[in-house]
Amino acid sequence: MPVVFRVGSLVFYFYSNEGNEPPHIHVRKGKGENESVGKWWLADGSSVFAEGFTNAELRTIRSTVLTRRQELIDAWNTHFSN
């Protein structure tokens, strides 16, 4: 589970076995019963699913995906080209 970066308590990461899917990022906050998780497409910042995040966190995640999109795509390409 390569972590690309963190924004506060939000962890942005990939699963190494998902390189056959379109570029996307997973985001997690917390652990166990208090865990929030989600998946966002890098193409447009839309969420595939998002569970447990507040509305403010969802706005932060989408904004981060969109503003740091190229960084995320570069990390995706580097990770999955190996």
**What tokens were used for 9?**
């308590």
- CA quadruple 34, 24, 79, 16: dihedral sign: positive
pLDDT at residue 30 in the model:
93
DSSP state of 52: S
32: confidence class by pLDDT, cuts 50, 70, 90: confident
37: confidence class by pLDDT, cuts 50, 70, 90: very high
- Taking residue 70's Cβ as centre, other Cβ atoms within 10 Å add up to 9
25: confidence class by pLDDT, cuts 50, 70, 90: very high
The pTM score is: 0.93
Residue 40 has pLDDT above 90, yes or no: yes
Instruction: Please state, in angstroms and rounded to a whole number, the distance separating the CA atoms of residues 57 and 29.
Output: 10
